Amino acid sequence: MSVKSLPLTDELHAYLVAHGSPPDEVVRDLVAETRAALPAEARMQVAPEQAAFLTFLTRLLGVRQAVEVGTFTGLSALAVARGLAEGGRLTCFDISEEYTSVARRYWARAGVADRIELRIGPAAEGLHDLPHERYLDFAFVDADKTGYPVYWAELVPRMRPGGVIAVDNVLRGGRVLAPQSAEDRAIVAFNDEVLADVRVEAVMLPVADGLTLARVR
């Protein structure tokens, strides 16, 4: 038995992925195209086990209204959209037409395009324009790290009681212990902000690059 999460070797990671919900052909092709066409940026794509977890979590929560901040080539949005309850909707915010053009193709191929609304432009402005009421069931944040406090400030008041915000990259490859960049320092400050926010109860999970789940009171 271990009192902490196991470090994942490549072999153990492969075993973990193989014993969860396996990625289908659409996911496999999306991952492969992203890595081939955008090798320098492919690290921005969520891990395969993280995508499976997002679908599982969305189904578990019975999500009908969801928001994503930072879409890239669309794997996380695809995962969330697949887990939505009947009639559910996902609103995605991203600034790149290039990256999200890949996403649109795979959403259509997976049959979930009608569940997703993509809004191109600064996410802070887009979130601010959302209804000012507590209606969101779920939000996934995986965008520019210095923007996290702004996205948090816009999202929390719009989450229904019991709604969940999932925030990616909260460990920054371990650099939260020794920040090396402005984005590292922004995440350190953001993590402290979440910990002190009495509006939520939060856990930080060692999934991929660190995933915080915050349940809004």
Which pLDDT band holds residue 170 (cuts at 50, 70, 90)? Answer: very high
Whether residue 39 is contained in a domain is answered as yes
Whether residue 2 is contained in a domain is answered as no
**Per residue in 15-73, pLDDT tens?**
988 888 888 999 999 999 999 999 999 999 999 889 999 999 999 999 999 999 999 99
Whether residue 5 is contained in a domain is answered as no
How many domains is the chain partitioned into structurally? 1
Whether residue 4 is contained in a domain is answered as no
State the average pLDDT over residues 151-177: 97
Query: 134 lies in which domain range?
Result: 10-216
What's 48's domain CATH number? 3.40.50.150
129: pLDDT strictly greater than 60:
yes
pLDDT value, residue 21: 81
Sheet bearing 200-205, strands edge to edge: 116-120, 89-94, 65-69, 136-141, 159-168, 211-216, 200-205
**Per residue in 71-80, pLDDT tens?**
999 999 999 9
Whether residue 129 is contained in a domain is answered as yes
Whether residue 193 is contained in a domain is answered as yes
1: pLDDT strictly greater than 60:
no
Which pLDDT band holds residue 211 (cuts at 50, 70, 90)? Answer: very high
pLDDT value, residue 4: 80
Whether residue 159 is contained in a domain is answered as yes
Whether residue 48 is contained in a domain is answered as yes
